[in-house]
Amino acid sequence: MICEEFGGTAIVHSKKGQGSVFQATLPLICNSTNPFKRSKEEIALSEKMAKVMASQMDRIKRNFEFTTKGIPLPWKDKKILVVDDEAYNTEVLEIILGGIGISPDKIVTCLSGSEAIEVIKESIQNEPESQ
């Protein structure tokens, strides 16, 4: 993980039925005589971190552009169910899906597993019968 490359840690706490908590830590190095003066190590660390982040962003951008360049998406006309207990996460996924050409009326979001099950049941009940 990126945080471990910089001397930090990543921890996950998960409880069934309650969700998960992700915790990342990074060491903070401070020059006590002048908190704004950075050591050579801090500058090198900042530069390395910036390169890693830029590389990650470039890769994400390339993947996104690759996905959106007329590649057929066989599921494009299907309904997509997005489930997460954090509304922010569902909103982000709606934006991403919209960015690759998924119509907003094809995206259904739920904030819990039980809500998702109800949506699926309702969808099955409203499905037209096969001839």
Per-residue model confidence as pLDDT tens digits over 67-123: 656 666 666 778 899 999 988 889 988 888 887 778 899 999 999 999 999 999 998
Q: What are the domain boundaries of the chain?
A: 1-71, 73-131
For residue 22, count CB atoms less than 10 angstroms from its CB and return exposed for 0-12, middle for 13-18, buried for 19 or more.
exposed
pLDDT in tens, 8-65: 888 888 888 777 777 778 777 655 565 566 778 878 888 888 888 777 777 776 676 6
CA–CA distance from 11 to each of 23, 63, 84, 101, 117 (Å)? 5, 28, 20, 35, 30
pTM, entire model: 0.45
The answer to whether the CB of 98 falls within 8 A of the CB of 104 is: yes
DSSP state of 11: E
